[in-house]
Amino acid sequence: MLPVRGLALASLSACAAILLGCSPRLAGTNDAALVYLVDADSATATSVQGAAIAGQVKARLSSAQIAADVDAMEERRVRVVIDADAAGTVDALLLWRGGMRAYRLDDATPIAPPETAGLRPITAVEADGRVERWWQGTAEAVSRAVNETKLDAGHVAFADRLANGEWRTRVAISPPLAELGVGRTAIASIEPVRHGRALALTFAPGTSSDTSPAPAGGVVNPTRCRAVLPA
């Protein structure tokens, strides 16, 4: 994984609300620049340089279908220009250490975003009569909502992609059930099993975890963990 550490976050331009009104924003009118310093590999003490940095950053963003301008800078720095609404998501993605946290969902707890532009409220009644409420919309709008909404210490909000290409807000209970792939629980491989209803995690030799919901080479059942987020 690409080890990156945040160095600076600067907004290049504000939303041109007067010019745009309720219309979609013009490209370049709501950009933000994120500059990162790439850490040296702790095991080899070597650093990724130049175009290789930009290439790895582009690959990670492309995997999340995030459009961005990425340029290598001097002294192991890389500059990423993206839509300001996606800044929180991009920052979290590039600072990701490569691990995962497994959470239990809390569908009964809604969130109240301070800004609801590009979102619409959705209500659904479960088979057991429970009512679930969430916000749904574009990736940028939902990302902004989960990053700007303040929850208590016992909950965490995240964005969940839907089959129709839209995104929705979700809430999970904190702390996580388990933290995998970091430190003593390095993950060697992840494979879907049970027809996609579970994940088989194989851990690197010699790793262990007191909190892992599955032993090395075991299965993590989504009906138990429900939500797996970057660690």
Residue-range domains of the chain with CATH:
4-96 (3.30.70), 101-177 (no CATH), 178-230 (no CATH)
Residues pairing with 11 in the sheet: 32
Of the pLDDT bands very low, low, confident and very high (cuts 50, 70, 90), residue 14 is very low
CA distance 188 to 130: 39
**Kind plus residue range of the DSSP H or E element containing 185:** none
Among 74-88, 118-132, 157-171, the range scoring the smallest mean pLDDT is 74-88
Which pLDDT score, from 0 to 100, does residue 224 have?
39
Which pLDDT score, from 0 to 100, does residue 206 have?
63
CA distance 231 to 156: 13
Q: Are 48 and 76 in contact (CB under 8 A)?
A: yes
Among 35-44, 62-71, 119-128, 180-189, the range scoring the smallest mean pLDDT is 180-189
Which pLDDT score, from 0 to 100, does residue 213 have?
42
- Does 123 have pLDDT greater than 90? yes
Name every residue whose Cβ is closer than 8 Å to that of residue 33 and which is 6 or more positions away in sequence. 10, 11, 12, 79, 80, 81
- Does 43 have pLDDT greater than 50? yes
CA distance 220 to 192: 10
Angle subtended at Cα 195 by Cα 191 and Cα 201, rounded to the nearest 5 degrees: 25
119-139 mean pLDDT: 93
Altogether, the residues listed in the chain come to a count of 231
CA distance 167 to 143: 9
Residue of higher predicted confidence among 136 and 130: 136
Q: What is the mean pLDDT of the chain?
A: 74
134-157 mean pLDDT: 92
Of the pLDDT bands very low, low, confident and very high (cuts 50, 70, 90), residue 189 is confident
Q: If we measure between CA atoms, which residue out of 44, 43, 36, 41 comes closest to residue 61?
A: 36
- Does 84 have pLDDT greater than 90? no
Q: Are 118 and 83 in contact (CB under 8 A)?
A: no
23-51 mean pLDDT: 71
- Does 217 have pLDDT greater than 70? no
Q: Are 7 and 77 in contact (CB under 8 A)?
A: yes
Which pLDDT score, from 0 to 100, does residue 4 have?
38
